[in-house]
Each structure stands twice: as structure tokens, then as C-alpha cells.
Structure 1
Amino acid sequence: MTIAPMEVTLAGNVVSLEMTSKSMMRVSEYFGGLIPANSALLSVDLQAMRKILASGLNKPLSDDDGLEAAIYETGVIDVQKYLIDYLDKLVTGGRGSPKPAVK
């Protein structure tokens, strides 16, 4: 089954974050699990954001990868929202958590 990538806007450019088991494993390896990755995002850890973006973009981390500037230009809070949604989709096989019904 192919799961469509998640598109987000970084520094004015639309980029696609891969929805693959490989990207999920990379995130897990960076943080020692997906719960620590989520906790790092909730703590607004900028290095965590770089690592998750690099995993989703399937690019190696480097000092000149442009991710730091892209996070700054986009706005840390906006990037945080994108990445929390991205992790949610990774851990649910691309479906995302069910949204509560509106009454």
C-alpha cells in the first residue's frame, strides 16, 4: 500500500514529507522511540524539528541542509504543528488519529 506524502510549506516552498516505515524508523532511532520524539516537539526542541524534517525529507542532517533557516522563516510554532500532525500520521500508518465528533 502506498501512502501519499504529507505536503507542508517551509519557507514559502511546498515540500513532501514521506509517509514510510523507513522515515518512521529514522525518527524512532534519532530519539530512542516515538514518544520521546513527540515530547521533544512539545518542548519546542529545534534540533528535534530538524531531525524529524530530515527524516521525512529523506535527507541527511548537515550544517548546511537549510532546515534551520526554513524553520525560522516558516515560524517555529507553525513547523511544530506540521510535525506533530506528521508524527501522528506516521504512527497510524498514514491515517492520523480519529478526530472527535463535533456536537
Structure 2
Amino acid sequence: MIHKGAIILGVLVGAGIGVLLAPDKGKTTRDRLKKEGKEVKDQITKDFKEVKDDLSKATASGKKKLKEEINNLASKTSYQTEKAITFLEKQLAILKEKNNSFQQAN
């Protein structure tokens, strides 16, 4: 995959070499440079817009993924909490039985 910056740099270098080697008159060269400069500017503007759009999509996707991960973590935590509560309830039942046996002995 060719990086857009490399393409733009190639266009600029090509334009510069073309100017140096061109046998045209000054006005013709300036007009051609102005036209090529506008094309490069338009391409850079388009590329920046694409990058901005890509970043916006990535950000939205990242937010969605983060929300999913938080929900998954909350679900797992809730499940583990439920297991801990069940364990503690069993332990309390055992302690309650022991306490009842102590009360009956007295």
C-alpha cells in the first residue's frame, strides 16, 4: 500500500524537476505550476478529509468496542459477585447451625 504522503511528495518533486527541465517561457511555466499547485492542494485537501473521516470512524468503533468490553467486564464481575454471595450464604448457614448447637448445649 502506497502512503498518500509519498504520492504527494512524488508529485511535488516531479513538478519541481519538470520546471527545471522545461524549455517553456516563464508565463507558461508559471501557469502550469499554478495549475499543478492547485491540483496538489486539492489532493492534499481530499487526503486530509479522508484521514479525518477514517479517524472519526476509528474513534466511533473504538468507543463501541470499549463499551462492549465494559459490558462484558460488568457481566463477568456480576457473575463472580453472585458466586461470592452464594459462598458467603453457605458459610453463614454453617455458622448459624454451629451457633444453634452452642445455644442448645447451654
By the TM > 0.5 criterion, same fold? no
**TM-score (norm: length of structure 1):** 0.27
- Higher share of residues assigned helix: 2
**TM-score (norm: length of structure 2):** 0.26
Q: Which protein is bigger by CA-based radius of gyration?
A: 2
- Which of structures 1 and 2 has the larger relative contact order (alpha carbons within 8 angstroms, sep 6+)? 1
